[in-house]
Amino acid sequence: MSPTIARWPSVGVVIPTRNRPELLRRALDSVRAQDYPGVLRTLVVYDRSEPDTSLAVDGDRPVGVTANARVPGLAGARNTGIVALATDLVAFCDDDDAWAPGKLRRQVGRLVAEPTAEMATCAIEVTYRGATTPRLAGVDSVPVDALARSRMAMLHSSTFLLRRAALVDPTRLGLVAEDAPGSQNEDWDLLLRAARRHPVAHLDEPLVRVLWGGGSHYAYEYGTKISSLRWMIDRHPEIAGCAPGAARVYGQLACWSAATGNRADAWRWTREAVRNNWREPRAAIALAAMSGAVRMETVLDALHRRGRGI
């Protein structure tokens, strides 16, 4: 191994996938095109679908292919990759996203500069219906109270870079939560757990392009969205303890309940949202959806055009 390569920590990239071969190849190409000087390995983990072994390659940027050996879903697929990769660091890339060529080099440098941090993120660009919108955090470090107040959507799972030793050690950070309903909000959960231990190191540059509207398996599974948000509230007292943060989650619960036609729950969560923050905009969206004035899909489309969500 050359001295240049040895100076950089080895990185393993986990790409979970399920029946999206064209998007997967784009994501895989973006990872293999990184200008990272160190060792870089990629593992494509097929979840509830047949692995395409033709993607496996050897060489200085090897790609492995395997099936999810744990709980079905995104969390289990990511953990399958984490356990299998014997690298210093682990990064996630969803199969419908793509990295800028300098993403890994810049982000590893940020994490190395913060030796007590166990996790690093970067900003994103959201692409939806041909329009691209940058989403920046405006900070270079993210404490737990910031994540309780807001999900901070720019800290997307495809930007995650973590110390593998912390992930595989249950007394430290631990693996991705496989009991998250529908493997939703498992990324926010991981951020909160990491930030409790040390603020997340952040590189506020949009180095990951996130594709919305690319056939997400979870876009309109409102019942699962409700279950996963309630799981988050039960799991993280910091959320309920932060009035604006609690109002945001209750407002989301109101919106998703209205989308399912459950008016009783939609009213209940709307009242909770307003009680915590009378200016919470999701409460108004839920009321409009309950009245029939708008459809939730129409609201989501308008927000996605601005690179935002509920």
- Maximum Cα–Cα distance for the chain, whole Å? 66
221 band by pLDDT with thresholds 50, 70 and 90: confident
Mean pLDDT taken over the chain: 94
Q: Which residue has the higher pLDDT, 34 or 214?
A: 34
Q: Which residue has the higher pLDDT, 23 or 6?
A: 23
pLDDT digits (tens, 9 = 90+) for 50-88: 999 999 999 999 999 999 999 999 999 999 999 999 999
Residue 136: CB atoms within 10 Å = 14
d(CA 31, CA 25): 10
Of the chain, the percentage scoring pLDDT greater than 70 comes to 96
Per-residue pLDDT, 53: 96
d(CA 106, CA 35): 10
Segments of the chain assigned E as strands? 11-17, 40-46, 63-67, 89-92, 97-99, 119-128, 131-135, 141-142, 161-163, 200-211
Query: Taking residues 254-278, what's their average pLDDT?
Result: 97
Per-residue pLDDT, 7: 87
Q: Would you mind telling me the total number of residues written for the chain in this entry?
A: 310
d(CA 36, CA 306): 32
Confirm if 93 and 99 have CB atoms less than 8 A apart.
Answer: yes
State the pTM of this model: 0.94
Per-residue pLDDT, 219: 56
Domains of the chain by start residue, with CATH: 3-211 (3.90.550.10), 222-304 (no CATH)
Per-residue pLDDT, 212: 87
pLDDT at 1 over 90: no
**Buried/exposed 197-217: b ≥16 CB within 10 Å, e otherwise:** ebbbbbbebbbbbbbbebeee
3-state SS assignment for residue 198: coil
Query: Taking residues 228-257, what's their average pLDDT?
Result: 97
Beta-bridge mates of residue 46? 17, 67
pLDDT digits (tens, 9 = 90+) for 99-120: 999 999 999 999 999 999 999 9
130 band by pLDDT with thresholds 50, 70 and 90: confident
pLDDT at 122 over 60: yes
Confirm if 9 and 85 have CB atoms less than 8 A apart.
Answer: no
pLDDT digits (tens, 9 = 90+) for 146-184: 999 999 999 999 999 999 999 999 999 999 999 999 999
307 band by pLDDT with thresholds 50, 70 and 90: confident
216 band by pLDDT with thresholds 50, 70 and 90: low
d(CA 115, CA 160): 16
